[in-house]
Each structure stands twice: as C-alpha cells, then as structure tokens.
Amino acid sequence: MITSFLAKALGRNIVITVAILLALAALVPALNLLTAPDHPLHVPTYIVSLFGKYLTYALLALALDLVWGFCGILSLGHAAFFALGGYAMGMYLMRQIGARGSYGNPLLPDFMVFLNWKELPWFWQGFDMFWFAALMAVLVPGLLAFVFGWFAFRSRVNGVYLSIITQAMTFALLLAFFRNDMGFGGNNGLTDFKDILGFNIQSNGTRSALFAASAIALALSLVVTSGIVRSKYGKILVGVRDAESRTRFLGYRVEHMKLFAFVVSAMMAGVAGALYVPQVGIINPGEFEPANSIEVVIWTAVGGRGTLIGPIVGAILVNGGKSVFTAAFPEFWLFALGGLFVLVTLFLPRGIVGTARQFFERRKEYRKAKAVEEARAFAAAEPQAAE
Amino acid sequence: MSIKARATGALLAAILSTTAFHGAFAADDTIKVGILHSLSGTMAISETTLKDAMLMLIEEQNKKGGLLGKQLEAVVVDPASDWPLFAEKARELVSVNKVSAVFGCWTSVSRKSVLPVFEELNSILFYPVQYEGEESQRNVFYTGAAPNQQAIPAVDYLMENESVERWVLAGTDYVYPRTTNKILEAYLISKGVKPEDIMINYTPFGHSDWQTIVSDIKKFGSAGKKTAVVSTINGDANVPFYKELGNQGVKAEDIPVVAFSVGEEELAGLDTGPLVGHLAAWNYFQSVDNPANAEFIKTWKAFTKNDKRVTNDPMEAHYIGFNMWLKAVEKAGTTDTDAVLDAMIGVSVPNLSGGYSTMMPNHHITKPVLIGEIQADGQFETVWETPGLVVGDEWSDFLADSKDLIADWRAPMSCGNFNVATGKCGGKGS
Amino acid sequence: MHTRLIHRFLQCLLVALCLMATDLRAADDLRSMVNALGGGSFQQNQKQIEALAKTGDPKIVPALEALAEGDLYLRKADGIVFIVRPAGANFRLIDALTGDDLGEEAKAGLEKVKVNNGLRRTIRGALGGLTLMSPDVNVRLQAAGTILRTPTADALDGLEIALAAETDGAVKAVLEKARAAAILVSDRPVEEKKAAVATVVQTGGRDSLSLLSGALASADESLRPDIEAGIRQIEDQLSLWAGAQNIWYGLSLGSVLLLAAIGLAITFGVMGIINMAHGEMVMLGAYTTFVVQAYIRAAWPGLFEWSLAIALPLAFLVTGAVGLVMERGIIRFLYGRPLETLLATWGVSLILQQAVRSIFGPTNQEVANPSWMSGAFELGGLTVTWNRMWIIVFSLAVFAFLLFLLKKTPMGLQMRAVTQNRRMASSMGIRTPWVDALTFALGSGIAGIAGVALSQIDNVSPNLGQGYIIDSFMVVVFGGVGNLWGTLVGAFTLGILNKVLEPYAGAVLGKILVLVLIILFIQKRPRGLFALKGRAVEA
C-alpha cells in the first residue's frame, strides 16, 4: 500500500530506480565483503570504488537536471558546488590525519607545515568534527548559490548570460583555490587521507560503506527532486522554464522560484562532492575547471534533460565509457567521446531516457490511435453494410 | 523496467569483460609494465614523450630477451591530465591488469593522487620528474631530481661564475616552485644575500601574457647589481615567457634566466636565437657526448621515425628507473613487490651522462648535475657540471620542519620520515 | 745640420724596424694567444680575451665574433684554433686571423671552444672597444651601446678619442652617455663625475637608473647627494611612464582578447551558437601558420619574411572550410536549440584536438617570428615590442574588415537580415541556409586568422584553443551578445583592467578580480555593455 502511495507521488519509474539503488546499496557491499575473490558473484573492490564514484557524479548530474531540466537555468558552474562540498569533506579528512602526517604536526596539515604556516587559519576551525564538516559541505555551496542566485535572478540575468557568469564564478574559484596563499593546499589540494569517522579509508569495508552511502544519497535525492518536480511548485518551475515572462505576469515571484531550485541543487551537488572525495582520495582545484562543469551538462544531456533518471544514466554511461575507452584505446578515446556527443545531440535530442520515453509514448499513442481508427473504421463500415 | 538497470548491467558486463579480456593475457607468459602518462589534456604535451620512451625501452628489452625469460608487455592507459582519473587508472593497472610496476605521472598532484593507491595495493611506481622533495614513500622510486640535485647547484654556479647578487624567483603558483623557492630563499639568505635583493613572483598555470612580469624583472634588474632570474615556470607557460624575454631584449648576458622546467622538448617549440645563453639545470642534456647517449638518441629517433625528435631529462630518468627495475627483478628473481622493493636499494646502473646512478635507501638516486646554456639550435651546451654525483635529498636541510627528517627504507628502520631529533618515525604517529 | 738629418733618418729607420719586428712578433703572439683559447677554462679564456683586447688589434675581431657565436673550433690534432662554417657533414676551416679558406675537415677531428655568458659579455666589451672607430655607422652605434651597458674605466680613453672623431649625431649621443658612464666608474675628479651624473640623468630611462644605482654603491660622500637626486628624478619620470606602460600592456592584452573573441562574436554573438569549438579554430589557424612556415623553409627560404602574409588567407580558407563542414554537417540541424550546439561543438572540439594531436604530435611546434615581428623599440619611456604592436594593428584591421563586411556589403546585409528575422528574410528570397553556412564559415575563418597572429606570442600546441575559449566568451558576453562594437570595447576594457590591476594584485588575484567584476557588471547590465534592445531580445 505504501508502495502504491509512493508510486502515485513519485511515478513508477522513479520508484523502480530508487528500489534498484537501494538494492545495489545492500547487495554490492555484501557481494564485495562476503564472497571470496574467486567466487563468480564477487564484486572486486576496484568496481566498488569506481561505481561509487559514478554514483556521486550521477548525483551531481541529477542536481543539475533540477535547475536545467525543470527550471531552464543552464549552470556552467555546477562543478564548483561539487568541489566546495568536496573541500569541506577534504578538510575534515585532513584534520583526521592528526599527527600522522609527514612532519608529525598534530594540528597543521603537511602543506601548511612546509609553507611555514604557524597556526591553523580560522576557516579551518571546527573541521575536526564530522558533523560540522558535513554541515558545511551542504551549507557552503548552498550559501554561495543563495548569494549568487539572489543577485543574478533579481537582476533578471538570463539564458546564456547566466551560463557565462556561472562559468566565470567557477573559473574565479579555480584560480582562487589554486593560490597557495588561500590555505587550501594550492594545486595539490588535499590528499593523503587516512581515515573517516575512525575507519581506515582504504579498507574494503569503508569503501563498501561509502558506496552504499552514495547509492542511498542518490536515492534520497531522487525522491526529493521528484517530490519537488511533481508538486505544485514544480509545475510553476516548468512554467518558468517554458515562458518566464508569462509566469511572472501571472503573479509568481519567478526569482524566488529559481533561487529555491538553485540553492537546493547546489546543496545536492555539495553532498555529491562530499561523498566523492573520500572515494577518490584527493580534492584539488582541478575540480573547479570550467570543462568539468560542461561535462556535467553533457552527462545530463546524454541521459535526457528533464527526466531525473536520464542524468543518472548519462553520468554512469559517459563516465563508464571514459573508463573503458581510456584503457582500451588510450590514443583515440577522445574521438569516441567527441563522436558520442555529436551523435547524441544529432540523433537523440532528448537524450537516451527522453528518447526511450518518447518511443514508448508514441507506441502507446499509436496503439490508441490505431484502436480509435479501427473503431472508426468499424463504425464507418457498419452503415455501409447497412446500405 | 528501468533503462538504467539495463544500462548499468550492460556497462558492468562491458567492464567485467574487458577485465576478463585483460585477465586472459595475464597468463604467466609475460611480465606487465604499466605506463601511466597523460596522452590528452594539458599535460599530454610533456607526458606523451615519456609514454613513447617507455614503449621504446620495453621493445628494446624484449629484443634482448625480455626479463626472467619472459617477454615484457606494456599496458598503456590515458589518465587525461585529470588528477582523480590518475588514481582510478593506477588502481585499474594494478588490480585489474596486474602489472608488476608502473612508470608514470608528471605533475606533483598526479603523484599525490596515486600515492595512496600504490600504498594500499602494494605496487611500485617510478616517478621520473624533478620535484619538490618533502616526500619518500615505500612504494615509489623517485628517479627525477630533488631540489638539491638541480636548484642549489644552479644558484651556486650563478653566484660563482656570474657574480649574481640580486635574484628573481619566478614560478607558477604550485607546490614545486613554492617549495623550491622557499629552499632557495633560505639558501640565498644563508649565503649573505639581503632579503630586499630577492623578488618572488607567482603566476597562474598556462599564463600567457608576460609583459608586466618581464618589465618588472627589468625594473628589478636595474638596481645596479648583477641580477638573475631563477625560473620554476611550468612547461606550457614557458614559450610565451621566453618569447617576451627575447622581444623585450632581456639578454642572457645582462639578466640570465636559469630554468628548472625547460628542457629540449620545451625549446622545440621556440626560435632559440634570441635566447642563447639562458640557462637550465638538469641531470642530463641531449648534447652530452658519450657512446651510451649517442646510442640512446639513435634508437629514439629510429623508434619515433622522426629525425627531429629530441631527448630530455625525464626520459633519461625513465631509462635509469627502468634499468634499475630490470636489475632488481633479476636480483630478486621475481617481480613480487616486496622482494623487488628490497632488491632495488643499492642497485647501480649506467646513466646517460657518462656515469652510474645508484638507488639510495631514501628511494632517490644519485645523479650528476649539469648546467647548460641554450644554443641557437635548441640544444643545451654544458657549461658546468658537478665533479661527482649528488645524492637526492628528499627532506631539505633548508626548511625548518624537514631538516631533522631522513628516509631509510632498509630493514630495521623502514621509514620515510624518521625524525633524528626525536628518534621516532614520524609517519607512524607514535 | 747634415748629421742631424742623418741622425733623424737613422732614428726613423730604427723605429720602423722596431715596429716591423713588433708587428711580426705581435702577429705571432696573436696567433698563439688565439690558439690558447682552445684549451682554456672559462676563467682562463676570460683573461685571454682581455689580453687580446688590450692589443687593440682589429685582426682579432673575426675570431672573437666567431667565439661568441660558437663558431670557433680547436683542431684536436695540433691545437690550432679555426673559425668554421658548416659544409655538409664537414666543417670548412677559416684561418682565425687572416680569414683565409683552409679547406674542409671532418667534424670528428674538431672540438668546439666553449663559451658562456661571462665570456660573451667580455667579448662584447672587447669588441666594443675595437669597433668604436669602424667606418660603418651601425657598427659604431652598436659598439657605443655595448660600452654603455658594461662601462669600464679602461674604455674611457678610447671613448674620448672616438668622441672627438665622431660625426654622426646618434652615435655621438650614445658615446657621450657611455663616456659619462665610464667616468662614473673611473677615478676621475669629483667635478667631472658630477657633470657625468648630470649627463646620465638628462638622458633618463631605465638603463640610466641602473648606471646610477650601480655607481651609488662606490661613490664618495660629496657625490652621493647628486646621484641620489638623479635617481629620484629618473624614478619620478619612470613612474609616470609606468602608468602609460600599463595602459599599453592592457591595449596589447585587449588586442589578443579581441582577436580571440572576434570570430566568436560572429558565431556566438550574431548566430547564437554556443561554439565550444571556437578555440580549436584558432588552433587550426596557428597550425596552418606552422605548416606554411615549414613548407616555406623547405622550398623557398627567401619568402620567409612573407610567411605570415601567406598564412593569413590560407588559415582563413582552412578554418573557414572546417567551419562550413561543421555547419552543414552538424549545426544546421540544431538551429533553435542553442544549448545543444554547446554539446555538439564540445564534441567537435575534442575530436579536432585529438586529430591535431594525432597528426602533428602533442608537443609544441615552432612558429618563428619574422624579423619585422621581433624585437622592440623605445618610445619615450615605453618599451614597445614589435609583435605586440603589429598584433594591435592587426586586430583593429580585422575588426574594421568585419564591420565593413557586415555593414556595407550585400552579403553582410543578408547575414544581418537572417539573424534578425529568419522567416522574413526567407520570404524576401534570401537563401537562408547558405547565408547561415557562410556566416559560420566567416566566423570560423576569422578565428583562423586570429590563430595566425596568436601563433606569434603563444604555444602552438593542441591545447592552444582551450586557453582562449573562456576568455573569449567572457569578452563577447561582457560586450553584449550580437554587437561587434561591444566585443571591441569589451576586449580592450578587460585587457586594460587586467593589466592595471596586475601590478597591485599580482597575476592570479588580478584575474580573479576581473572575473568578479564581470559577474557584478552583468548584474547591473544583464545584457552586457551594448545590449540589443527591442522585442526580438526575449526570443
């Protein structure tokens, strides 16, 4: 009964996806930890951490879909929120190293020691506590999105102008975090993590737990976004996307609508970043690269913009493809990836999920139409026969 | 029915099948060597050459009969100048392809990114590029120069031969220049240079507009004292930097620039006519005249089928590292990581500058230091070299926090950051 | 009387004989001194060169010049030093003193006499002293300049003789200054030094500052105030010029931004295509230049000075053709879906990068500056490099050309018509698909010729385009999409802003500040500097 209620609130596809994600969250760690390495069903740790990473990417793409797919805000700076969340988590992990760093300094991370920092800068305070870091991973991106969105949406910065200034934002952050004077480890970023919440970050158990956490976070976010999208508010968002001025003339405060979606999306991206960092073991300014944000847009577009499930499929597919191609054709994989983007835009303009959905709908419509036609033909045949 | 599930399933299958595919080759008839250099993205410009060099070395070794009676097989992947991807690819090389050793990385951040992977999976990485030091890891062998094998001798040369009194330390704002400049600053001050005679300047990656900085250098150099520039500017930004120097008429005779990241490869993209006399400090130059090097250059040109291809210092580092690894594997009789790690220390192989390089217990190697001046043909001419070999010093003596640290990976100590003042191995947190 | 004459005659004879003997001995000495350069260390050679310079014999000039150029070689067999010229696999030997051709010799038997900066500097000083009396004005000018850069007290006598004999005004001015510089390091009386300080201060400039600060360290008390006042005076002048210098650098950076962005102003600004492959068009233009130069070097070396002029139309054609193919093959299916053009062109950009990497290799390619693009000239207190200046001129020329094309030609009219109202234009009989294709090809072609110019100041590598793409978008958006003038003003504003901030904030922070200012500016004017007005804007 609960299922049927959820299905109504969320849509059947979402429920199925959430169920799959939750099943994966339970099954994959179990298969990794409980089966012997030579068991046919064993999932190697390599796959666990790889797919754990993909799931965080999927969460990032989902976050972008909320603003781009449903609200028409093409953010070319979403990786910035992801990276900020990552940095918050990275700072916690750095503080956890404690005196186990190269120089054995109990308070200062290694990079601060050899750049002669004498005390911990104020913005590093509190990050030794997990709850604080976790809070910051959500709050900092949210706050940045709020400030940025507040100004941008109030000034009615739109379309490509908005895209370009989000790009300027992530580029400025890239340069800022790149500076060693900022106190975030410069180009090397934060690395050499030892443990998280007391568990060794390299152990299979921790990896499996992180995988499960990523899957669950993705499932939860899917429920939340789906809830937003299907609510009355969601309908207005789509209205904003399709005809902003008209929605405004109808009396809605468009900028508030947009701001809310933007902030929620940035927070989701922050969570994704926070889950990403312990799984890859490093966070550095490279994550702010404008190219990374563009890639997120591409995952979303490949999977299908405005479908919620599409971005997840897109992120996993494109990144999986990248993983396979960079090993299988190290010299030519860019041709494959570039070709994929061109072909998808040309032949699957709604993305994979969008196109599939369209196909099913068309078939349904076709059947319906056919049934109607047959009925009509039948109806038309009757009087003829009577004549 | 979710498409996602299907897609994921298909992808999983694809990955597993490539795993199986590679696995089939992992049968014991070859020894696999991983090559982890970016073939696309910003670092491809430097790293692709190293991939080719490794392929050549492996091919040559196979012609000589391989290793332990087996053929060597190179596994090439492309980490695409994407630092987290380096970690993913390293893990793939070690745990999926089962390589015996990996040769790779260029930037410090890529090395930092893969370190935990090599530590966790207990495999071996050979890192061929000059770097900032302040690191010694059990699973990594550093065949490039530490700061004392490059920076300090270069500064000494300029002080003695050019009587330089005023210094511009210009670098890209990342860890290698920062650390090198800190070490140099401390060193120069210990030599009696006044702090106001040192100017430090940092620029972003790929900086291409050098007008202001070059004119600042000219300004700084017009204080009546002999001035030199120590450049730790990173690869790509060097071409516009040198073009601006040449055009603004900064001549080597007036303000020499000594660089630690400019080799034959970087100069290949430049008209070096206006740059004659600017310097670089390395452990190897293509112009070094000896039979081993001549042979190496010949093989390289034949392998790349390009008569204009140049050789450079990181290539030599791979040459040394690869030969050391071969020797250690032969000594150990196996490619098993622990045995090879033990066998590596003390291994001595010929380098290309006409001597021998030895792997020290701190996982750094001994090297000669050469100072060369840029010539009009894009090559360097050695104008000075250290009389003997210099041992790589991983923990600099000129930084307050690292001067008490040493690394020794031999049996009882087995520590990468042993503090001689406290008598404890710092990394173990005791 | 008679005896006196005879006496005088004998005296002369004796002197003449002596002179001949010394001459012979000197020639002998010279040869052994030159030969001694072969085996010496840098320090020994330095002394040797100083000794050679003291002889004052112009015969040693070619040998010293060859040494500085690295063309002086030692024959290992007999220790004789020769000047060499490459002759196939061998060297052609030239006598170091007489300049006689002595035939060819295998390279293996010869060893280069090494030279370093210190030696080159010494040689330059020596040559300066030796060539001060040369009949060639340019040589004299160079010699005077050399002494000015490395003044020594020894050079003073020679300078004064040369000054007395000098007729050319320009050379004379440099000689005067060189003399003053030499006086400052000599032991001449204080009055003379004060006059010298005045001379140096009067000429001004960065090198004068350098001379004075150098002299300050060793000056005695009575001279110090003069020098210090002089330094202050020059510094004041220079700080005035520094402002101008920053503006100039800003203009130069602005011209680079303009070049990088102007093609995008067409494809993105006018057509609305988010063209992520724009940077790659610039890169293709730069590679065209490389290919043209390589071809010219191999086939007609004489044409090298013209290589850029030849590359320009070719780059336009090559990138224009690539643009045409892109438009016909991909972009025309995407009109009305601007965001999707981002995806497709991003894919194209990856493919183009990798294609160039596969064809030319990942390393930098050498694109040389023709001589008219190299070096710098002084304009008051400004150092203006020729390449930067020509790039400013070129960027403005390209802008003017484009403006003319769009505003004054039938084709431009059609382009504007199609972008403003496609259906109306179509109804008027304009073949809109072809106009689209040509417009995109034009934008790409312009990006290509920008690549020709940028190859002169930047790396020619597959990553070239990536470095400019973000800046280009910033410029177009800042200036206002769809307005060429906006792009012009935007590029120069951002360039100057960047360069004015850089000395205070540093390169990294300066750039961050500029980005933040762009973000804030867009809040104020959400459609850029020169916004299009009217109803069409919303669409």
Residue-wise pLDDT for B260-302, tens only, equals: 988 898 888 788 888 888 999 999 999 998 899 999 999 999 9
Judged by CB atoms within 8 Å, which residues 510-529 of C form the interface with B? Answer: 511
Is-contact A310 A330, C-beta < 8 A?
no
Q: Are B71 and B166 found together in one domain?
A: no
| Domain contains B417 | no
Q: Does A180 touch chain B (CB under 8 A)?
A: yes
3-state secondary structure of B38: coil
Distance set, CA C507 to CA C31, C465, C499 (Å): 54, 21, 9
Q: Are B380 and B278 found together in one domain?
A: yes
Is-contact A268 A308, C-beta < 8 A?
no
Which burial class, exposed, middle or buried, applies to C325 when counting CB atoms under 10 A from its CB (0-12, 13-18, 19+)? Answer: middle
Judged by CB atoms within 8 Å, which residues 92-151 of A form the interface with B? Answer: 98-105, 110-111, 113-116
- Which amino acid appears at position B325 of this protein? W
Q: Are B266 and B156 found together in one domain?
A: yes
What does the alpha-carbon distance between residue A354 and residue A309 come to, in Å, rounded to a whole number?
Answer: 9
Which range of residues forms the domain containing residue B376?
A: 148-289+370-391
What is residue C349's predicted lDDT score, i.e. its pLDDT? 94
DSSP structural state of residue C186: S
What is residue C25's predicted lDDT score, i.e. its pLDDT? 59
Interface test with B, best of A105, A326, A337 (most B CBs within 10 A): A326
Is-contact B77 B92, C-beta < 8 A?
yes
The closest CB to that of A157, out of C334, C515, C526, belongs to C526
- The DSSP line for C317-361 is HHHHHHHHHHHHHTGGGGTT-HHHHHHHHHHHHHHHHHHHHHHH-
DSSP structural state of residue B93: I
- Residues written for chain C: 539
Q: Are B28 and B135 found together in one domain?
A: yes
Of the ranges B366-380, C21-35, C411-425, which is most confident? B366-380
| Domain contains B59 | yes
ipTM of predicted complex: 0.88
The closest CB to that of C117, out of B221, B252, B270, belongs to B252
Q: Are B285 and B359 found together in one domain?
A: no
pLDDT confidence bin for C243, thresholds 50/70/90: confident
Q: If you count residue pairs, one on A and one on B, with CB atoms under 8 Å apart, how many are there?
A: 178
Lowest average pLDDT, out of B77-86, B404-413, C10-19, goes to C10-19
For residue B6, give the chain A residue with the closest CA: A313
The mean pLDDT value of chain A amounts to 88
Contacts with B177 from chain C: Cβ below 8 Å:
none
Cβ-based neighbour number of residue A355 at 10 Å: 17
Q: How many structural domains are present in chain B? A: 2
What does the alpha-carbon distance between residue A94 and residue A125 come to, in Å, rounded to a whole number?
Answer: 12
What is residue B303's predicted lDDT score, i.e. its pLDDT? 94
Helix (H) or strand (E) run with residue B399 in it: none
What is residue C525's predicted lDDT score, i.e. its pLDDT? 87
Distance set, CA B183 to CA A186, B59, B128 (Å): 18, 40, 21
**Averaged over C330-338, what is the pLDDT?**
84
The closest CB to that of C253, out of B206, B209, B247, belongs to B209
What is residue C366's predicted lDDT score, i.e. its pLDDT? 85
Is pLDDT at A25 greater than 70 in this prediction? Answer: yes
Which pair of tokens denotes residue C455?
């190859």
Q: Subunits with at least 3 CB pairs below 8 A relative to chain A?
A: B, C
Q: Are B106 and B220 found together in one domain?
A: no
CB within 8 Å of B50: residues ≥ 6 apart: B37, B103, B104, B106, B128, B314, B315, B318
- The DSSP line for A303-357 is H-TTSSHHHHHHHHHHHHHHHHHHHHSTTTHHHHHHHHHHHHHHH-TTHHHHHHH
What does the alpha-carbon distance between residue C99 and residue C65 come to, in Å, rounded to a whole number?
Answer: 12
Q: N- to C-terminal Cα distance for chain C?
A: 115
Domain boundary pick from B350, B366, B382? B366
3-state secondary structure of A144: helix
Architecture (CATH level 2) of domain C242-538: Orthogonal Bundle (1.10)
Of the ranges A236-250, B231-245, B334-348, B415-429, which is most confident? B334-348
| Percentage above 70 pLDDT, chain B | 93
CATH of the domain at B97: 3.40.50.2300
What is residue B402's predicted lDDT score, i.e. its pLDDT? 83
Q: Are B271 and B314 found together in one domain?
A: no
Helix (H) or strand (E) run with residue C84 in it: strand C81-87
Is-contact C91 C77, C-beta < 8 A?
no
| Measured torsion, CA atoms of residues B174, B177, B178, B179, in degrees rounded to the nearest 10 | 120
Contacts with C386 from chain B: Cβ below 8 Å:
247
| Measured torsion, CA atoms of residues B293, B295, B296, B298, in degrees rounded to the nearest 10 | 120
3-state secondary structure of A134: helix
For tokens 């700080």, what's the residue? C239
Which one is predicted more confidently, A384 or B57? B57
What is residue B10's predicted lDDT score, i.e. its pLDDT? 47
3-state secondary structure of B168: strand
Contacts with A165 from chain C: Cβ below 8 Å:
477, 518-519, 522
Is-contact B231 B180, C-beta < 8 A?
no
What does the alpha-carbon distance between residue B415 and residue B409 come to, in Å, rounded to a whole number?
Answer: 6
Relative orientation angle of helices C507-524 and A130-154, to the nearest 10 degrees: 50
Strand partners, B258: B230, B279
Which pair of tokens denotes residue C72?
């002086």
Judged by CB atoms within 8 Å, which residues 194-233 of B form the interface with C? Answer: 201-204, 206-209, 211-213, 215-216, 218-219, 221-225
Is-contact B283 B265, C-beta < 8 A?
no
Q: Are B227 and B311 found together in one domain?
A: no
Lowest average pLDDT, out of A238-242, C16-20, C513-517, goes to C16-20
Q: Are B203 and B275 found together in one domain?
A: yes
What is residue A320's predicted lDDT score, i.e. its pLDDT? 92
For residue A104, give the chain B residue with the closest CA: B426
CB contact under 8 A, B249 and C368: no
Relative orientation angle of helices C169-185 and C137-149, to the nearest 10 degrees: 20
Parallel, antiparallel, or unpaired for β A199-200 and B257-259?
Answer: unpaired
What is residue A188's predicted lDDT score, i.e. its pLDDT? 87
Closest C-alpha among C185, C365, C229 to residue C287: C365
Cβ-based neighbour number of residue A38 at 10 Å: 6
What does the alpha-carbon distance between residue B418 and residue B220 come to, in Å, rounded to a whole number?
Answer: 41
Q: Are B340 and B253 found together in one domain?
A: no
Which pair of tokens denotes residue C293?
């130069």
CB contact under 8 A, A330 and B76: yes
For residue C504, give the chain B residue with the closest CA: B212
CB contact under 8 A, A17 and B2: yes
Strand partners, B67: B70
Give the distance from residue C458's alpha carbon to the nearest chain A alpha carbon, in angstroms: 21
Residue-wise pLDDT for A79-107, tens only, equals: 999 999 999 999 999 999 888 888 888 88
pLDDT confidence bin for B13, thresholds 50/70/90: very low
**Averaged over C15-27, what is the pLDDT?**
58
What does the alpha-carbon distance between residue A270 and residue A266 come to, in Å, rounded to a whole number?
Answer: 6
Is-contact B350 B389, C-beta < 8 A?
no
For residue B205, give the chain C residue with the closest CA: C508
What is the CA angle C217-C220-C221, rounded to 5? 110
Parallel, antiparallel, or unpaired for β B380-385 and B370-374?
Answer: antiparallel
What letters, b where the CB count within 10 A reaches 16 and e where it falls short, cover A109-138?
Answer: bbbbbbbeeeebeeebeebbebebbbebbb
What does the alpha-carbon distance between residue A387 and residue A97 come to, in Å, rounded to a whole number?
Answer: 93
Distance set, CA B93 to CA A326, B33, C21 (Å): 12, 9, 80
CB within 8 Å of B381: residues ≥ 6 apart: B285, B287, B372, B373, B375, C70, C112, C114
Which burial class, exposed, middle or buried, applies to A200 when counting CB atoms under 10 A from its CB (0-12, 13-18, 19+)? Answer: middle
**What's chain C's Rg over C-alpha atoms?**
32
Which pair of tokens denotes residue B252?
């080597």
Residue-wise pLDDT for C133-191, tens only, equals: 777 888 888 888 877 777 777 777 778 888 888 888 888 888 888 888 888 878 888 88
What is residue C6's predicted lDDT score, i.e. its pLDDT? 66
pLDDT confidence bin for C20, thresholds 50/70/90: low
Cβ-based neighbour number of residue A383 at 10 Å: 8
| Percentage above 90 pLDDT, chain C | 29
Phi, psi of C216 (to 5 degrees): -60, -40
What does the alpha-carbon distance between residue A271 and residue A221 come to, in Å, rounded to a whole number?
Answer: 10
Is-contact B2 A309, C-beta < 8 A?
yes
What does the alpha-carbon distance between residue C55 and residue C31 come to, in Å, rounded to a whole number?
Answer: 12
Cβ-based neighbour number of residue A270 at 10 Å: 32
CB within 8 Å of A232: residues ≥ 6 apart: none
Is-contact B112 A282, C-beta < 8 A?
yes
What does the alpha-carbon distance between residue A208 and residue C430 come to, in Å, rounded to a whole number?
Answer: 63
What is residue A382's predicted lDDT score, i.e. its pLDDT? 62
Q: Does C358 touch chain B (CB under 8 A)?
A: no
What does the alpha-carbon distance between residue A165 and residue B309 come to, in Å, rounded to a whole number?
Answer: 43
Query: Any idea where the domains of chain C sit in the sequence?
Result: 2-119, 131-222, 242-538
Q: Are B332 and B359 found together in one domain?
A: yes
Q: Are B279 and B382 found together in one domain?
A: yes
